[in-house]
Structure formats: C-alpha cells, structure tokens
C-alpha cells in the first residue's frame, strides 16, 4: 500500500479507484503577464508569446497541441519542457464564456485523459455549451515529459513489499524499497525531477491562460487539483476567475499532519462502509457491529501477511496489495458491493478481486505496465513538502498516534509516509496559509466523510482564502461535484455560468 499523500479523483471518474497531495513549493518570483499580452519579463516573453498549433487529437471533437514552458522559471534560459494540451470547444447554445481548465488531482493524474474520457462528456451540458473544455497534463505527468522510476516488474515487487513490518529485517526491506524507487526516479528522470513542483505547474497554467486569450483563469480542480488551484490564486489573484476547488486540501499543514489526517479520514470511511456492510446479506465481515467488521478485516490482513493467496496469475495477493485494494474502494461508496465480493473471495483463498482493485489504484495495465501516476505523485509530493519522516526511527515513534487515528489502517499509513525520506531532491515548499488577497470569489467544496481530503481541510482552506466560500456535501466518498447531488451540482453550475457563488456555509446532502 502506497497511500502517501495520494488524493485523486480521476480513477473514480473512470470507474476504477483513486488516491493525494502536497504542500506549497517555491520556484522563483511570479511573472507579470496578462491574458492579452501585457508586458512580461524579457526572459518569459518567448513563452507568453508563442503560438499554439492545434491539430485533431484522433478523438472525435477534440483538438490537441503542445506548449512550451521554462524548465526552471528562475532560469528561463536553461531549457524548456513541452506540455500536452487538449480542448473541446464550446458547443453552444449561449454566449461563450471562455476556457474552463480542469484537473482531476493526484498529483499525477492525466488531465488530458480525464477531459477526453470524462469531463467533456460528463460535465453538465450547459457548462460544456458555454466553455471550451481544456486540460493540460502537468509537467512530469503522462504526455508532459513524464517522470519514470521503475520497470513494470520492479513496480510489481515494490507494491508487494510488506508495509506493516514486524521486525528489523522487514523494516530494512521496506526502507530499501523506498530508496530503490527514489534512485530509479533520479536515474531515469533526473533532469525534470527538481522542476515538477505545484508552483511551477501553476505558472504553466498562467502561460496557457494567456495563450488561450483569456483574461481570467476559470478552473475546476478536484483533490490535489484544489491545491493547484489555490496556488494559482495565490500567485495570480488578479487573474483568478471562477475557481471551484472540490475535495479541498489544506496548504497550511506539514506532511506529517496531512498523513495523520488522511489516516483518520480512511478510518471514518471504513466505519461508514462497515456500518453498511453488516446490514447486507453478503457482508463477509459479520452481521453484528462495525467493531466486529474491523476485527474480521484485520484478521484477513494478518492471514495474508503470513500466507498470501492465489489470484489466478503469477502474483499472489499479499497483505500490502489487499490493503491497497480495500483503500481503493473507500473513495466511492459505489464500489462497496465490489469490495464485499472481493473480501469474501479472498477469505476463500481467491485474491483476484482485491488484486484488481489494487491494480486500478496503481494504474497497472493488463500487460504489466504501469502508468506514470505513482512516479509523478512521489515526485511532486516529495518536492512540495519536507518528508513526514526522515527515517524508520521517527516512524516507530509516531506509530501509536497513527494507530489511534485508525486501528485498521494506521500502522500501514505511518510506514507508507516514509517514502519521501530517501528522495534525491530537497523539498522546495513549505506549508503556509494561502489567502490569495484580491481574488474573485472562490468556491471550496468539502464532503463530510471524504477519506482522502478530510472535511476539516475544506473548512480551513475556505477560511484561509480571502474570498473563499464553503460549500458542503453531507455524505460519503471523495469529492462532490458530478457525483449525484443535484444541490451541489446546481450550486456549482450557477457559479460557473453566471459567476454567483453559493452562500458561504451552504450545505447539501
């Protein structure tokens, strides 16, 4: 299980399962540029002045292009990165408002895939009618000079390492696996690795805004995408248009607090699942109480730690893969029936169901190849915040508080947070309040039982932002927009279409 600050919604939207986050990072001073070509620094003029050459994507209705950005904004003459952009033009009727940039989270989720497979179809028709739907794969992600770290076989081994070590040998093996991962990233992607911070990606978004001809950036970001959107508003408050930050992060928190809060969030999500499960005839965790359900799940994990079970392929279901499969299903209550079936099968010695959930979480294809999600995720997170734990000794000291936060997942979450401890690039970001003084109203959305982005993070971000307004979904799952609440969707659609934010504190169910 590698849950270390993984907060995405993209996989959920595509019917798989999903993951987290980071804090703020620095990368030089913000450029001065307007959408219509107001003066920019001489070094950045070639980027703000480039012309986009759109072409057919091969996907009906979509156009694609590539834009250039500085590898290092502090040294724009030191080379470029090429970033993939996709759009679907406004369909009408109604007057076009502008471009709506969308980001599915991660970090590491492909925004281009998200747009082409979901957003440009799944977003409400009135929104698609009046906005060009646009996405950009962030630097280091998917089509935008992707970070690479391990081969498919190496990733298979990495995902099976015991993340609840019981002795010094297992602790050493886990620490070694994190070091091997980090070493692979440096060897395969050493040039771009120091330049995938959230601040740099936010600056890329401003270059794109200008190239699209928009005076303001209109944006919907989910999960980690909320941190990206808030960072943009902090850097360019006068250019922040209609911003929706759904499944919000709290940029004021250090890494250890983020990990501990997420641990508690997944425990709360499991309690909701368990309460529902014990009422179902097919619940594999008993029929009495959530406490008994937790005991039964922990027993399954212990059994798999001692003896993994077959899956119908060469890989066996280990404790770590089983835990990841369960975690994956916590993002969306629609996955609960699948999880009940998968857990029951594992108890019978068939690990294929939980393995499938884990593979969806890691974005592992049937051919054994992995998307670069996990590589980019680590690269961004480890650059954006100082590691939660520099070494195993610090993890061991923190175990009691993590296990208190989640008796089911706490131990694994604590050890998973060690993975930035071996990172080859020093973190550039620091946690701090994000106020974005001068920005137009920004809608912050929180779900009360969100496992990956706990509701209190949304409350905190809305309070920090000088123009933040909090919209609450009282329910389960990760994020809220487009997940079945007419109240939430109507409030956000109204804001996107006419600029009127919901009343601060509005609640929906």
Active site residue 156: no
What DSSP character marks residue 443?
E
What is the radius of gyration, based on Cα positions, of the chain?
22
Catalytic residue from among 22, 99, 135, 223: 223
User: Mind listing the pLDDT tens digit for each residue in 139-183?
Assistant: 999 999 999 999 999 999 999 999 999 999 999 999 999 999 999
Lowest mean pLDDT: which of 56-60, 238-242, 247-251, 475-479? 56-60
Residues 59-88: what's their mean pLDDT? 96
Residues 340-369: what's their mean pLDDT? 97
Q: What is the pLDDT of residue 29?
A: 34
**Which CATH number is associated with domain 66-146+196-254+432-508?**
3.40.50.1820
Q: Is the pLDDT assigned to residue 429 strictly greater than 80? A: yes
Q: Is the pLDDT assigned to residue 319 strictly greater than 70? A: yes
Q: Which residue has the higher pLDDT, 3 or 437?
A: 437
Give the predicted TM-score (pTM) of the model: 0.93
Active site residue 509: no
Q: Is the pLDDT assigned to residue 27 strictly greater than 80? A: no
Instruction: Give the span between the Cα atoms of 193 and 495, in whole angstroms.
Output: 37
Mean pLDDT for the chain? 92
Q: Is the pLDDT assigned to residue 78 strictly greater than 50? A: yes
Residues 86-103: what's their mean pLDDT? 96
Q: Is the pLDDT assigned to residue 500 strictly greater than 60? A: yes
User: Mind listing the pLDDT tens digit for each residue in 367-406?
Assistant: 999 999 999 999 999 999 999 999 999 999 999 999 999 9
Catalytic residue from among 113, 384, 450, 489: 450
User: Mind listing the pLDDT tens digit for each residue in 176-207?
Assistant: 999 999 999 999 999 999 999 999 999 999 99
Torsion of CA 342, 344, 350, 352, to 10 degrees: 0
User: Mind listing the pLDDT tens digit for each residue in 217-228?
Assistant: 999 999 999 999
Q: Which residues does residue 70 pair with via DSSP β-bridges, in sequence order?
A: 80
Mode of pairing for the β-strands spanning 63-70 and 55-56: antiparallel
Residues 461-485: what's their mean pLDDT? 97
Instruction: Give the span between the Cα atoms of 277 and 280, in whole angstroms.
Output: 5
CB neighbour list of residue 238: distance below 8 Å, 6 or more residues apart: 438, 439
Confidence of residue 40 (pLDDT cuts 50, 70, 90): confident
Instruction: Give the span between the Cα atoms of 392 and 398, in whole angstroms.
Output: 10
Instruction: Give the span between the Cα atoms of 111 and 373, in whole angstroms.
Output: 11
Q: What is the pLDDT of residue 31?
A: 38
Give Cα 267 distance to the centre of its chain. Answer: 19
Q: What is the pLDDT of residue 11?
A: 37
Q: Is the pLDDT assigned to residue 3 strictly greater than 80? A: no
Catalytic residue from among 132, 189, 206, 478: 478
Location of each CATH 3.40.50.1820 domain in the chain: 66-146+196-254+432-508
Token pair in block for residue 346: 């594992």
CA dihedral sign, ordered 168, 174, 178, 184: positive
CB neighbour list of residue 253: distance below 8 Å, 6 or more residues apart: 23, 261, 431, 457
3-state secondary structure of 446: strand
Token pair in block for residue 89: 């033009």
User: Mind listing the pLDDT tens digit for each residue in 248-298?
Assistant: 999 999 999 999 999 999 999 999 999 999 999 999 999 999 999 999 999
Residues 232-250: what's their mean pLDDT? 98
CA dihedral sign, ordered 185, 189, 190, 195: negative
Q: Write the Ramachandran bin of 499: left for phi over 0, alpha for psi from -120 to 50, otherwise beta.
A: left
Active site residue 223: yes
Instruction: Give the span between the Cα atoms of 153 and 135, in whole angstroms.
Output: 31
Count of Cβ atoms closer than 10 Å to residue 432 Cβ: 13
Q: What is the pLDDT of residue 458?
A: 98
Instruction: Give the span between the Cα atoms of 488 and 107, in whole angstroms.
Output: 24
Count of Cβ atoms closer than 10 Å to residue 413 Cβ: 27
The answer to whether the bond into 319 is cis (omega within 30° of 0) is no
Instruction: Give the span between the Cα atoms of 469 and 503, in whole angstroms.
Output: 7
Of the candidates 189, 199, 190, 212, the one whose C-alpha atom is nearest the C-alpha of residue 67 is 212
3-state secondary structure of 502: coil
């Amino acid at each position: 299980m590698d849950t270390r600050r993984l907060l995405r919604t993209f996989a959920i939207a595509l019917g798989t399962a999903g993951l987290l986050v980071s804090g703020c990072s620095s990368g030089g001073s913000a450029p001065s540029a307007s959408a219509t070509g107001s003066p920019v620094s001489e070094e950045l003029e070639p980027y703000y002045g480039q012309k986009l050459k759109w072409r057919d994507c091969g996907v009906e209705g979509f156009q694609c292009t590539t834009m250039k950005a500085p590898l290092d904004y502090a040294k724009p003459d030191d080379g470029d990165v090429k970033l993939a952009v996709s759009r679907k033009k406004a369909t009408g009727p109604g007057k076009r408002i502008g471009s709506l940039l969308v980001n599915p989270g991660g970090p590491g989720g492909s925004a281009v895939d998200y747009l082409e497979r979901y957003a440009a179809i799944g977003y409400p028709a009135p929104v698609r009618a009046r906005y060009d739907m646009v996405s950009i794969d962030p630097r280091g992600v998917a089509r935008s000079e992707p970070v690479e770290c391990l081969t498919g076989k190496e990733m298979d081994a990495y995902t099976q390492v015991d993340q609840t070590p019981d002795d010094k040998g297992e602790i050493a093996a886990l620490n070694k696996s994190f070091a091997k991962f980090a070493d692979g990233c440096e060897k395969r992607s050493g040039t771009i690795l120091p330049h995938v911070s959230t601040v740099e990606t936010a600056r890329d978004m401003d270059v794109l805004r200008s190239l699209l001809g928009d005076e303001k950036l209109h944006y919907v970001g989910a999960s980690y995408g909320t941190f990206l959107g808030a960072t943009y508003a902090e850097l360019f408050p006068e250019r922040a248009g209609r911003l929706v930050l759904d499944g919000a992060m709290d940029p004021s928190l250090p890494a250890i607090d983020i990990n501990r809060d997420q641990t508690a969030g997944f425990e709360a999500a499991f309690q909701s699942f368990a309460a529902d499960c014990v009422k179902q005839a097919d619940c594999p965790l008993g029929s009495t109480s959530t406490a008994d359900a937790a005991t039964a799940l922990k027993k399954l994990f212990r059994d798999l730690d001692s003896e993994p079970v077959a899956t119908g392929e060469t890989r066996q279901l280990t404790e770590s893969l089983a835990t990841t499969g369960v975690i994956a299903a916590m993002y969306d209550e629609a996955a609960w029936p699948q999880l009940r079936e998968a857990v029951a099968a594992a108890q019978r010695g068939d690990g294929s169901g939980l393995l499938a959930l884990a593979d969806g979480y890691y974005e592992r294809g049937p051919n054994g190849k992995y998307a670069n999600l996990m590589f980019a995720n680590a690269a961004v997170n480890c650059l954006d915040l100082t590691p939660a734990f520099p070494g195993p000794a610090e993890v061991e000291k923190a175990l009691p508080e993590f296990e208190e936060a989640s008796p089911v997942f706490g131990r694994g979450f604590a050890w998973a947070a060690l993975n930035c401890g071996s990172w080859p690039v020093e973190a550039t970001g620091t946690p701090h309040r994000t106020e974005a003084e001068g920005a137009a109203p920004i809608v912050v959305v929180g779900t009360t039982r969100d496992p990956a982005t706990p509701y209190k993070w949304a409350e905190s971000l809305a309070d920090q932002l000088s123009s933040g307004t909090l919209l609450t979904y009282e329910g389960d799952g990760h994020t809220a927009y487009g997940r079945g609440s007419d109240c939430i969707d109507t409030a956000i659609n109204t804001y996107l279409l006419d600029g009127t934010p919901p009343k601060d504190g509005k609640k929906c169910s």
